[in-house]
A and B are shown apart, each in its own frame.
Chain A
């Protein structure tokens, strides 16, 4: 009894601490607003005000964000958050942060229900490791769907596990897994895979006569939840993201040499094992600068031996939990392994669940032998880890990764708003889509924006999957600069530090208007005003007469 109270008190402390880690400075760290966040935020706001997304489509089943057809639930929830807390960056990120906090509790319940730990401290340590894991913290603080999907998937997985003892939970498990497919692309593949493999592995307890009613009910409920999605399943929108990220090119390069099937398996398994490799999980961060922390991977390096020990013990274990955790460990990297990015922490986020469970199993082995000494050592290592987390997340990340997180668009929007009568060309050749950042920061009225873009899109919303990065609205155009024509019109050209060289500026009589720098004082945007009169006076050609 005493231990139960103590364990409950520690859990509350962990939840409070993890809330701090997930909510502190949510508005300003990550420093900037990433395009995916801007898409989510602006469309949520648009839905809230007009019931339509940026293209004028009423309550879409997939959002056509930058051509990615993102499942909609996060955006709809964010619309509600914006209604309560206002249209700001923290509101866009809040659903993710709350998912991260609730995930801690769900994870603790899952660990307790697995009932495989020798020491009462192990579930506590496991939960604490999840609470301070850089992977969990990072994705809890971003304003798009990844973490919510993982949280809902985890609830589904918890209910599936509970259904082994009481089959009624199977209905809830199926429902939450079905729901997770409305949040993120990876779960659209992972959730049905988990359900099928779970049912096969535990068919002796699930697929029995006594569960007939439960199974039928679960099936009906699952189908009802999936109905809206099934209605667009045959459209291109349903597959465009997956096929776009698949490594077709890499396979076709190797196919001549070894045949298509072997080439596929080689590529798939190389990606798959990369997700399970300690090198990537504990040392080398995701190579995408937007999706990683400086010098910190998904877990702290000192945990690697426990991961390996945990897997070894897990394989030796004689319990249902072994099948269950191994199933999660082997299934969760699959969606990410079908995409070409090396070690995409974003698509593989559900892997966090079985890896943390394995870590706790590994830790348990040692805690059970020398409880006090070992717990003390783990605590000291956790303190060091927090020091490194502080250094990476609070000091290096907001400065060094600001540019990757869309820092500068807020300032650019202000500069544009200062000059309402001037025409702006934003060079899009090397930057992430600028239009969505600008409409967000300028709080550009959604009903006005919906009328200014290609009106045909909303009629062919799920079939017109080709996304064009050129946009024209208000006094802004986002596209590649056309040096043959743009310098002969009175306007302002905006690009990064490579867009316009000093020589080009001199040659075309461009006048520097402003520069926007990141926290490391590196140029993000540079703006030049054209001077067609002077250009034509000095270098007259046929363009001057158009």
Chain B
């Protein structure tokens, strides 16, 4: 008979999950700011984890989806709205300087752009919206935002803080890789919903992009188990 390791007897995997779930700065920061969001986050994370690794019941999936919807609403309502079109003061200054110094009449190619109405494409609303969406998107998928408090490119306006201990970035990536490999649909749907929402909503939220919290916890947990070559 195969000898059981001491951690097999203890509910190691479950303890580890609890430790990751509650042993991070992020969740306690959220708890301090909004207890209701904290409770829903804990419940959603546990439910998704249970659904993914314990029991594939459809009911669980629907409950999880509903909770995710609630979290999404909270993410939206607790974030300070950042316009996708309105320019900030500094952007207005740069735009007016550019209009002043690169008047289309000064440059042959810009005359062409002006005729084709591409000036607006390059300097106007379209460009502003596209830049804002890109900023939100790339900040959402920046690992430094979650593990290093945005360092070395801190975002003062976003009140960045270290959400998870920095060493956990390694198991996070390992876990993400294996999760994509083994639970592709889940990761794709979850990422698509949360990342696209954050791309629209933006990051101006004291609690951070917490809709991604369950995915991070599950990835880190899964990654640690894989690194320890633990059966999942």
Contacts and interface: CB of A to CB of B under 8 A. Distances in A.
Contact of B107 (A270, A340, A387, A395): A395
Contact of B148 (A273, A287, A316): A273
A295 B147 CA distance: 26
Interface stretch (B42-50, B58-66, B134-142, B214-222): B134-142
Contacts of A278: 138, 141-142
Contact of A520 (B101, B148, B166): B101
B22 interface: no
A20 to B, nearest CB: 15
A260 interface: no
B193 to A, nearest CB: 17
Interface in A269-284: 269-271, 273-274, 277-280, 282-284
Interface string B123-140: 000000001001100110
A390 interface: yes
A387 B139 CA distance: 25
A342 interface: yes
Contacts, number: 76
A312 B153 contact: no
Interface of B: 97-98, 101-102, 107, 109-110, 118, 122, 131, 134-135, 138-139, 141-144, 147-148, 151-153, 166-167, 169, 177, 180-181
Interface residues of A, number: 35
B98 A315 contact: no
B180 A274 contact: no
Given A278-B138, A390-B109, A520-B97, A271 B166 contact: no
A41 B201 CA distance: 50
B153 A282 contact: no
Contacts of A88: none
Given A270-B144, A274-B152, 4 more contacts: A273-B148, A312-B180, A395-B102, A395-B107
A274 B102 contact: no
A280 B150 CA distance: 12
A195 interface: no
B152 A269 contact: no
Given A269-B148, A270-B166, A273-B144, A280 B153 contact: yes
Contacts of B122: 387-388, 391
A301 interface: yes
A153 interface: no
B143 A395 contact: no
B107 A342 contact: no
Contact of A343 (B110, B143, B153): B153
Given A266-B148, A273-B147, A283 B134 contact: yes
A80 interface: no
Interface string A303-330: 0100000001001100000000000000
